[in-house]
Amino acid sequence: MTARRGSVRHEVRLACTPERVWGLVGSAERLAEWFPGVTSCTVHGDVRTVVTGAGLPMPEQILTVDQHLRRFQYRITAPLFIEHLSTIDVHDLGDGTSLVVYSVDAEPAPLALVIGGAARAALLGLPDVLGLASPR
Amino acid sequence: MARKILLVTTDQQRYDTLGCNGGSVARTPVVDALAAGGVRYERAHPQSVVCMPSRSTILTGQHPTTHGVWMNGVPLPANAPSVAGLLHDAGYRTALVGKAHFEPYLDPFLRFPENAVPPSGTPVGGTHRGFEHLETATHGVMGPLHYARWIRTEHPEAVDGFYATLDASLQVNAAGGGDTGAPQVKVNPVDRGCYHTDWVADRTIAWLDSLAADDDWFCWMSFPDPHHPWDPPESEVGRIDWREVPLPAGYPEDRAQREAILDAKPRHWRAWYDGTLVSNYEAPAAWVPATLTADQVREVNARNAVECELVDEALGRVLARIGERGWGDDTDVVFTTDHGELQGDFGLLFKGPYHVDGLLRLPLVWRPAPSVGAVPAVVPGPVGLVDLAPTLCAIAGLEPPGWMEGRPLPVDGADAAARGFERVLTEWDSELFGTEVHLRTLMRDRWVCTVYLPGTSHDGSEGELYDLVDDPLQRVNRWDDPAVRSLRTDLVADLWDAQPPARADRLALEAPV
C-alpha cells in the first residue's frame, strides 16, 4: 500500500506584523514576487495562471481570500492533479511577529512533495523579500 | 602536469555484473582490463543504497549523516563541499557528463541549478559544485536535462520508444513489458547511437576534445544505466537470450523457501514482498514482488547485462580517445557505481531499506595512471565510496581536507591492513507520507550488522546479522542467535562508536526524487 494522497505542511516565523506579510502572500497577483520558480502569474477573476521556470503553465482556481482570517486557498487545476488544495495562513503571534503556515494536499501524492518543497523555499525566502532578519 | 582523472560511475550496478568479479552474463572486457592493470576491490560499499545520498557522498567524501542528504528528494546544499571544487581550484579543468542527481529531478519550477544548466553546458556563474562543464542525463527522455532535450529535438521519433519511468500518478512505473511482462522492461527501437549510454560517451569525448593537450582535467563520466528501466536499444538485446540466463544464486526459486527466508528478516521485508507496505519511492508502488516469476528475473538480468556491456563498450571508446590525445599513461581511471540492485535476490527487484550484498556490494576498480608504475592488486577488505573523494585528492597531489571523512583508497591488501581499513558504515533513512524506516549498518570482518531504529514497522529492537563467509547469500539472520550474542554486542557498540558527526540542522525533503 502506498499513499495516493499526500499532505505536507511548512511554516516560518517572521519578525514583522501579520498585516505586512498578508499584504504580500494574500495578494494573488504578487505570487511571482515571492515564490521561487514562478516566472509570471496572471489573475482573471478567480482564475490564476502561473508559468513555472520550466515553462509549464499551471492554472489555478482561487478559493479563499479571507482578509480577516488572513487565509489564502487555491486549487491547482492542471490535468496532472487529480486533487489539490493549498492553504496559506498568516497567524498573529501577538508580539509583533507572525507565523506563516503553508499546507499542501494533493493527489497524486508525489505532487504534494513537489509543491510543498517549492512552498518551503518560498517561505524561507520571505525575510529577504520583506527586508527582514532571518527566520526565527 | 598532473595526473588526469576519469571517474566513471554507473547507476545501480551489482558487483557480480563484471567479468572481473566473477560475473558470467555480461562481457565487460574494458573494465576487466582496467582491473587487471590496477586495483580491484572485493568489498566496496556505498554509504547509502539510493542515488542522491550516495552521489553526494562521492562528491563530498562525507557520510549522509554529515552532508545531510538523508534520502532521495533532499537536495545537497548549494554550499556543500565538493572534491570537484578542490580540483578546479587546484587548476584542473572539471566536467560532469551524464547523471548528476545531487538535486531533485521532479522540479517543475526549475528551482535547482542542476536542472537549469544552459545548453552550452556552462553553469550559470561559471561553475556548479566545482564543475565548469555539466551535460546532464538520466534514465528517461522527459524533463530539462541535456540528453532529454537533445533527443526530443534531434530524434523526436525515438521518444516514444523509451519506457516511461513514472506513471500518470508520478509513481515509479510498474508497467511490464518484454517477453515476460517484467516491470520496467520495454522493447526500445531507439538507434544505439541515440541511447543515453553512447550519448554520455560522445559528450565526454567532445569535452575532452575541447581541452588543450597540457590541461590537467577531472571528468566524472556518469552513465544512467544499468538502473531501470531496462529498455536498452532493441538492436542489442539479442546479444543475450534471457532464456539461457541462469537464475542468480540469490534467487530462491522455491516459493516456500523464499518466503521462509523473508520471514526471518525484519517485517518490512515480507510486507513489501506481499505488497502490503511500500516504504520508499524508489520501487514501483503498484508492483507486488510476490508476483515476480523466474522468467522475469532471467529477462531483467539479461537486459541489465546488455546495458552493462554497452557501458563497457562506451568506456572503451572514451579510453581510446584519451589514448589518441596522448594522455593514456597519465590518466587514472576509477570505475564504480552509486549502489546496487536486488535483481532477483530474495524474489525482489529494485532497491530500498534492505542492507544486503545485492545493494551493498559494489564494483570498484582503480587503475592508477600507468606512468606511476602501480602493481596490480586485489583488496579483499571493506572500503567505502566515502573514500573516493580523498583518493581523487591524492591522485591530484592534494592533501584531503579535514571535512572529508574517508581516506585515500588502499592500493593492496597489505596497505589496507597497515592503514586500518576495518569497517564501513551505511545508513538508511526514509520518511514518506507517514511511513518511516531507519537503519544503521556496519560491515566489519566477515559480518554485516544492521540495527533498526524505531519506525513505522519497527520498534527499534530488530536487527540483522549475517556471516558473509558461512552465509554469503545472507539468508540466515543471526541477530537473535545466542551463539553470536557477544559478537553482536561488540559490532553494535562499534557501529555506534564509529558514527560520523551529524549536521546541526536537518535538511528538508523537497521532492520525491
And the C-alpha cell for B366? 582503480
pLDDT exceeds cutoff 60 at B462: yes
Over 80: is that where the pLDDT of A133 sits? no
Residue A134 pLDDT > 80: no
Q: Please tell me the predicted confidence (pLDDT) of residue A85.
A: 98
Query: Contact B285/A2, CB-based, under 8 Å?
Result: yes
Distance in angstroms (rounded) separating the CA atoms of residues B203 and B197: 10
Q: Report the SS3 class of residue B10.
A: strand
DSSP single-letter state for residue B293:
-
Euclidean distance between CA atoms B56 and B386, whole angstroms = 9
- CB–CB contact A54 B144 (8 Å): yes
**A-chain residues near B284 (CB < 8 A):** none
Instruction: Give the pLDDT of residue A36.
Output: 94
Pinpoint the alpha helices (H) of B383-479.
388-395, 413-418
- pLDDT tens per residue across span A62-114: 999 999 999 999 999 999 999 999 999 999 999 999 999 999 999 999 999 99
> Distance of CA B114 to CAs A89, B105, B129, Å?
32, 9, 9
DSSP secondary structure letters along A27-64 = -GGGHHHHSTTEEEEEEETTEEEEEETTS-EEEEEEEE
> In percent, how much of chain B has pLDDT > 90?
98
Closest Cβ–Cβ partner in A2, A54, A82 for B278: A2
Instruction: Decide if A113 touches B, using CB distance below 8 A.
Output: yes
Residues of A in contact with B142 (CB under 8 A): none
What are the residue boundaries of the structural domains of chain A, listed by start?
Answer: 6-130
Confidence of residue A3 (pLDDT cuts 50, 70, 90): confident
Q: Can you name the residues that pair with B96 across neighbouring β-strands?
A: B134, B220
Residue B42: all three cell numbers together:
572485493
Question: What pLDDT digit, counting tens, does each position of A35-64 carry?
Answer: 999 999 999 999 999 999 989 899 999 999
In this complex, do B109 and A52 lie within 8 Å of one another by their Cβ atoms? yes
* Predicted local confidence at residue B318, as pLDDT: 99
> CB-based contact (8 Å) between B278 and chain A?
yes
Q: How high is the mean pLDDT of chain A?
A: 94
Cell of B133: 562543464
Q: How far apart are CA A107 and CA A65, in angstroms?
A: 23
Instruction: Give the Cα separation of B150 and B31 in Å (integer).
Output: 28
Where helices occur in B233-293 by DSSP H, the ranges are 234-237, 255-263, 267-274
d(CA B438, CA B471): 24
B505 touches chain A (CB under 8 A): no
pLDDT averaged over chain B? Answer: 97
| pLDDT at position B469 | 97
Which chain B residues are within 8 Å of A53, Cβ to Cβ? Answer: 108-111, 116
Amino acid letter for position B316: G
Residues 6+ away with beta carbon under 8 Å from A77: A59, A60, A61, A84
Residues A106-123: pLDDT tens digits? 999 999 999 999 999 999
N- to C-terminal Cα separation, chain B: 40
CB atoms closer than 10 angstroms to residue B454 = 12
Residues of B in contact with A108 (CB under 8 A): 168-171
Q: Any CB–CB contact under 8 A between B276 and chain A?
A: yes
> Which residues, including other chains, have CB under 8 Å from residue B61's CB and lie 6 or more apart?
B81, B83, B386, B387, B388, B389, B390, B400, B403, B404, B405, B406
At residue B1, the pLDDT reads: 82
Residue B423 has pLDDT above 80, yes or no: yes
Q: Of A5, A113, A124, which to mutate for an interface test with B (greatest number of B Cβ within 10 Å)?
A: A113
**Smallest Cα distance from A24 to chain B, Å:** 20
Q: How far does A68 lie from chain B, in Å, by closest CA? A: 31
Residues in A touching B170 (Cβ below 8 Å) = 80, 108, 110-111
Mutate to test the interface with A, among B173, B268, B274, B433 (most CBs of A within 10 A): B433
Closest residue of B to A114, CA-based? B511
> How far out from the chain centre does Cα B96 lie?
16
Q: Does A118 touch chain B (CB under 8 A)?
A: yes
Q: Do B285 and A6 touch (CB under 8 A)?
A: no
Contacts of A58 in chain B (CB under 8 A): 108
Contact list in B for residue A116 (CB cut-off 8 A) is: 510
Confidence of residue B154 (pLDDT cuts 50, 70, 90): very high
Taking an 8 Å cut-off on Cβ atoms, the answer to whether A110 and B170 are in contact is yes
Mutate to test the interface with A, among B74, B106, B109 (most CBs of A within 10 A): B109
Q: Supply the pLDDT for residue A2.
A: 66
Q: What is the mean pLDDT of residues B315-340?
A: 98
Q: Which of B349, B427, B410, B327 is nearest to B182 (CA)?
A: B349
- Which domains, ranges and CATH numbers included, belong to chain B? 9-497 (3.40.720.10)
| CATH code for the domain defined by A6-130 | 3.30.530.20
Compare CB distances from B110 to A4, A10, A52 and report the shortest one's residue: A52
